[in-house]
């Protein structure tokens, strides 16, 4: 019955049409998130090595609750349930990295749920949140449940010390007692993943080599920490700790490579990125020196996040076409 | 086919191959007005359409035959084998001025950039990655290019002529200073080349001309015949084709099969147009045909912007495609002006590098169109 088949309106073969460009570099959101998770995996292993199954418990719980919360929230708000892009999994992992290994289960659940809801969903998902999502929840937990977020409570479970609270309580004398190599290898207390300095540094370098993050923010952040700490150290080295001590403790390295570079809440230009990093780094030391919080990194990055819209105003003039 | 890259030099085969004349051709019109009737017989080189603007070149029948159909988009000609040509025009005797300009226009050359300027820049870059036509012409057709340059110089009378070429290229052209620019797209765009050579976005007294324009002017000087062919890159081979040759014929000759759902692009990967039918003919500005297989890339989506900033850092116009595309997405077209949307060179790099796979350039074009429509409504 071939004669009855109508000649198609469009000629064969039917082609796809689209606007230019017709090529793509091949990057995807899920790829970016997955590679960031891969970059964090050495630190996860080191955390389990140092803190045992306690660390694994916090990480696993945080990741699972992150994905489930995101799925439920997206369902309620009627958006596409895009949890398969691993971005909520990454938020869960980043949040777990900031918690002490001794964090109780309810704190992990409340914290990561807040991180997803306050940090991501309320502002319209990835790319729209003005603050780094894991840090929002960290700040809420730190202020609300000071006792449970206290890093020093992990002391009972391990042989390590929390160098930053040692510095806060006993001064630079105590700080000089730490071996830098031990600190670098993660033999210290702090956020369970954040203090795995060598693992985190390895992951950060991997991300830069794979061009998932630009080196501007991490390097400027570290420079900000180092320069400010050096200034204090030179003013009075009996009162203030060595700048290398500051670089190797708390979440400095983790913050520089993984939190400050959060794409939604950091600026996009070359110069704004450098300023953003420097300001974050300077805040870290100022908070460590003057405030009651031993580790200044989360608050420093949150403060720098607030400056992002202003920093983004530093722009070159657009191409003159008229 | 080629791997996605922004590198502007491509290997190419030694020789330019000729595509045999097709039985039927569809000569595309770009705002041109047909000057012939249906069923009329035309000679090769006969004028069949002209443009209302005085600078745009006329369109000629690229083979002799009979006009089969005329639509606003194209003129179809059933070709015959007689191959009768129009008489050549000798333009070497005409003094430069209005007369020579109109002679060139009637031979198919766009003459809008043939105006007096102190500096003449010749853009020696392949226009887009994956295209090798410009390199090929610069290497193998120096004489024709020089003849074209000689005529162009009469109009522009520049005090200096600069040939802009990719970083390590050894290309040269008699009487031109060579200027090297990094070999990455979008450094091949005319505006970016002018900026790289002079240091200014929009300097005065600078004219820029492309290698094919020189080549075809040179060809016209040599033969006296109008412009009826173009040279296009497919993969690693350059082909000489008659304007209006259906893409189907070219791809068959090149041995490339097209599956349903593939994209066939006339032009290059960054600025080309996806054709809707293989019967479409190539136009005189075409420099390549690209087949993008259906599943080569994940499809574009309306996913939210991640604000990763890749588009901002790659943008040669120094604007913020991330913000502009978000505004266009939600219909805030006026606000995009403040972010410099008019500076957009439409190079396509923002979309190429977009991690979220957003159609950034499409959003920008939408905003530009909406703004233009608002502007014309006001008048």
pLDDT band for A144, please (50, 70, 90 cuts): very high
Chain A residue with the nearest C-alpha to that of B259: A13
- Residue of A82, A214, A318 with shortest CB distance to B340: A318
Which residues face B232 on adjacent strands? B239
Q: Is B3 on the interface with A (CB under 8 A)?
A: no
Domain ranges for chain B = 98-221, 310-378
pLDDT band for A78, please (50, 70, 90 cuts): confident
Predicted local confidence at residue A10, as pLDDT: 59
Map residue B264 onto helix, strand or coil.
strand
Which residues face B230 on adjacent strands? B241
Q: Is A30 on the interface with B (CB under 8 A)?
A: no
Reading the block at residue B356, the tokens are 């979220």
Task: Flag whether pLDDT at A1 surpasses 70.
Answer: no
Q: Alpha helix (H) ranges present in B235-359?
A: 247-254, 310-314, 321-329, 333-338, 349-352
Q: In Å, how far are B55, B74, B229, B277 from B282, measured between CA atoms?
A: 21, 11, 9, 12
Tell me the shortest Cα–Cα distance from B57 to chain A, in angstroms: 25
Cβ neighbourhood burial of B320 (10 Å; 0-12, 13-18, 19+): buried
Mutate one of A7, A12, A19, A131 to test the B interface: name it (highest B CB count within 10 A). A19
Reading the block at residue B351, the tokens are 């979309």
Q: Work out the number of other CB atoms within 10 angstroms of the CB of residue B112.
A: 11
| Calpha distance B250→B231 (Å, rounded) | 12
Report the complex ipTM: 0.88
Residue that is written with structure tokens 């420097």 in the block: A278
Please indicate whether, in this complex, the C-beta atoms of A127 and B261 are within 8 angstroms of each other: no
Kindly report, residue by residue over A98-129, the tens digit of the pLDDT.
999 888 999 999 999 999 999 888 988 778 88
Counting residues of chain A whose pLDDT is more than 90, the rounded percentage is 61
Contact at 8 Å (CB) between A189 and A155?
Answer: yes
A165-181 burial by CB neighbour count: b if 16+ within 10 A, else e? bbbbeeebebbeebeee
More confident residue, A255 or A147: A255
Mutate one of A8, A24, A35 to test the B interface: name it (highest B CB count within 10 A). A24
Q: Taking all residues of chain A, what is their mean pLDDT, rounded to a whole number? A: 90
DSSP letter assigned to residue B281: B
Q: In Å, how far are A45, A71, A255, B226 from A95, measured between CA atoms?
A: 16, 18, 12, 69
Strands ordered across the beta sheet of B59-60: B33-34, B47-50, B59-60
Kindly report, residue by residue over B38-67, the tens digit of the pLDDT.
888 888 888 899 888 888 888 999 888 999
Contact at 8 Å (CB) between B292 and A15?
Answer: no
- Residue of A17, A25, A128 with shortest CB distance to B274: A17
Tell me the shortest Cα–Cα distance from A212 to chain B, in angstroms: 9
Residue A21: cis peptide before it, omega within 30 degrees of 0: yes
Show the CA angle centred on residue A120, arms to residues A114 and A123, nearest 5°. 115
Phi-psi region of B206 (alpha: psi -120 to 50; beta: other; left: phi over 0): beta
Q: What is the 3-state secondary structure (H, E, C) of B156-213?
A: HCCCEEEEEEECCCCCCCCCCEEEEECCECCCCCHHHHHHHHHCCCCCCCEEEEEHHH
What are the chain B neighbours of A270 within 8 Å (beta carbons)?
313
Map residue A62 onto helix, strand or coil.
helix
Contact at 8 Å (CB) between B311 and B350?
Answer: yes
Q: Work out the number of other CB atoms within 10 angstroms of the CB of residue A51.
A: 25
pLDDT band for A3, please (50, 70, 90 cuts): very low
What are the chain B neighbours of A207 within 8 Å (beta carbons)?
none
Kindly report, residue by residue over A158-170, the tens digit of the pLDDT.
778 888 888 888 8
| Calpha distance B78→B169 (Å, rounded) | 43
Kindly report, residue by residue over A265-277, the tens digit of the pLDDT.
999 999 999 999 9
| Calpha distance A86→B128 (Å, rounded) | 35
Give the CATH superfamily of B98-221.
NADH-ubiquinone oxidoreductase 51kDa subunit (3.40.50.11540)
Mutate one of B307, B316, B350 to test the A interface: name it (highest A CB count within 10 A). B307
- Residue of A18, A21, A126 with shortest CB distance to B306: A126
| Calpha distance A88→A15 (Å, rounded) | 37
φ/ψ of residue B266, rounded to 5:
-95, 115
Per-residue pLDDT tens, chain B, 379 aa: give them: 567 888 888 888 888 999 988 889 999 998 888 988 888 888 888 889 988 888 888 899 988 899 998 988 889 999 887 777 888 888 777 777 788 888 888 888 888 888 889 999 999 899 999 999 998 998 889 999 999 998 888 888 899 999 999 888 888 888 888 999 999 888 999 999 999 999 998 898 899 999 999 999 999 988 888 888 999 999 889 999 999 999 999 999 999 999 998 999 999 999 999 998 898 999 988 999 999 998 888 888 888 888 989 999 999 999 999 999 999 999 999 999 999 999 999 999 999 999 999 999 999 999 999 999 999 988 7
Task: Flag whether pLDDT at A7 surpasses 70.
Answer: no
Tell me the shortest Cα–Cα distance from A32 to chain B, in angstroms: 8
Strands ordered across the beta sheet of B237-242: B17-18, B237-242, B229-234
Domains of chain A: 31-311 (1.10.3430)
| Calpha distance A173→A183 (Å, rounded) | 16
What are the chain A neighbours of B312 within 8 Å (beta carbons)?
268-269
Pick from B187, B186, B191, B169: nearest CA to B178: B169
Task: Flag whether pLDDT at A5 surpasses 70.
Answer: no
Predicted local confidence at residue A9, as pLDDT: 55
Show the CA angle centred on residue B368, arms to residues B265 and B281, nearest 5°. 25
Mutate one of A11, A19, A21, A318 to test the B interface: name it (highest B CB count within 10 A). A21
| Calpha distance B62→B48 (Å, rounded) | 10
């Amino acid at each position: 019955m071939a004669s009855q088949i109508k000649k198609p309106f469009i000629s064969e073969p039917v082609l796809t049409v689209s606007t230019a460009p017709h090529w793509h570099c091949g990057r995807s959101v899920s790829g970016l998130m997955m590679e960031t998770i891969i970059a964090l995996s050495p630190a996860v292993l080191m955390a389990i090595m140092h803190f045992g199954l306690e660390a694994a418990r916090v990480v696993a719980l945080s990741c699972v609750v992150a994905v489930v919360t995101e799925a439920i929230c997206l369902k309620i708000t009627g958006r596409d349930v895009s949890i398969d892009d691993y971005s909520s999994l990454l938020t869960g992992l980043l949040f777990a990295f900031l918690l002490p290994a001794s964090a109780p289960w309810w704190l992990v659940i409340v914290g990561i749920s807040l991180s997803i809801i306050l940090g991501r969903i309320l502002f319209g998902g990835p790319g729209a949140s003005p603050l780094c999502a894991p840090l929002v929840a960290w700040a809420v937990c730190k202020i609300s449940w000071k006792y449970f977020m206290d890093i020093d409570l992990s002391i009972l479970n391990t042989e390590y010390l929390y160098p930053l609270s040692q510095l806060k309580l006993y001064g630079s004398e105590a700080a000089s007692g730490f071996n830098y190599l031990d600190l670098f290898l993660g033999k210290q207390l702090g956020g369970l993943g954040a203090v795995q300095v060598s693992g985190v540094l390895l992951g950060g370098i991997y991300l830069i080599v794979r061009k998932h993050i630009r080196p501007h923010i991490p390097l400027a952040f570290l420079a900000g920490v180092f320069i400010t700490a050096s200034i204090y150290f030179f003013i009075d080295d009996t009162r203030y700790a060595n700048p290398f001590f500051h670089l190797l403790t708390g979440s400095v390295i983790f913050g520089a490579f993984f939190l400050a570079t959060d794409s939604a809440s950091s600026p996009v230009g070359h110069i704004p990125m450098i300023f953003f990093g420097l300001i974050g780094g300077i805040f870290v030391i100022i908070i460590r020196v003057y405030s009651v919080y031993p580790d200044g990194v989360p608050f420093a990055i949150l403060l720098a996040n607030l400056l992002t819209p202003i920093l983004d105003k530093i722009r070159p003039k657009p191409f003159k076409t008229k | 086919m080629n791997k996605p890259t922004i590198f502007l030099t491509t290997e190419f085969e030694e020789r330019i191959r000729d595509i045999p004349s097709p039985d039927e051709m569809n000569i595309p019109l770009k705002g041109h007005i047909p000057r012939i009737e249906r069923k009329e017989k035309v000679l090769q080189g006969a004028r069949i359409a002209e443009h209302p603007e005085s600078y745009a070149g006329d369109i000629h029948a690229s083979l002799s035959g009979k006009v089969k159909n005329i639509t606003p988009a194209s003129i179809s000609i059933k070709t015959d084998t007689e191959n009768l040509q129009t008489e050549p025009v000798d333009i070497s005797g005409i003094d430069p001025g209005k007369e020579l300009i109109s002679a060139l226009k009637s031979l198919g050359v766009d003459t809008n950039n043939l105006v007096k300027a102190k500096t003449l820049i010749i853009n020696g870059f392949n226009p887009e990655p994956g295209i090798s036509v410009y390199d090929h012409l610069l290497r193998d057709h120096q004489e024709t290019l020089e003849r074209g340059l000689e005529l162009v110089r009469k109009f522009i009378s520049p005090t200096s002529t600069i040939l802009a070429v990719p970083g390590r290229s050894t290309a040269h052209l008699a009487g031109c200073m060579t200027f090297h620019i990094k070999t990455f797209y979008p450094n091949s765009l005319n505006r970016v080349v002018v900026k790289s050579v002079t240091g200014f976005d929009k300097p005065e007294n600078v004219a820029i001309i492309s290698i094919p324009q020189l080549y075809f002017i040179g060809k016209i000087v040599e033969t006296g015949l109008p412009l009826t062919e173009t040279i296009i890159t497919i993969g690693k081979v350059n082909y000489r084709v008659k304007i209006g040759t259906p893409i189907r014929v070219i791809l068959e000759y090149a041995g490339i099969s097209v599956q349903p759902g593939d994209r066939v692009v006339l032009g290059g990967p960054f600025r080309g147009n996806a054709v809707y039918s293989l019967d479409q003919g190539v136009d005189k500005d075409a420099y390549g045909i690209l087949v993008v297989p259906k599943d080569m890339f994940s499809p574009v989506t309306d996913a939210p912007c991640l604000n990763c900033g890749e588009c901002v850092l790659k943008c040669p116009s120094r604007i913020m495609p991330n913000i502009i595309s978000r505004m266009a997405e939600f219909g805030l077209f006026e606000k995009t002006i403040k972010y410099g949307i008019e500076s957009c060179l439409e190079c396509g790099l923002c979309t190429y590098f977009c991690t979220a796979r957003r159609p950034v350039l499409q959003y920008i074009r939408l905003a530009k169109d909406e703004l233009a429509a608002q502007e014309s409504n006001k008048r």
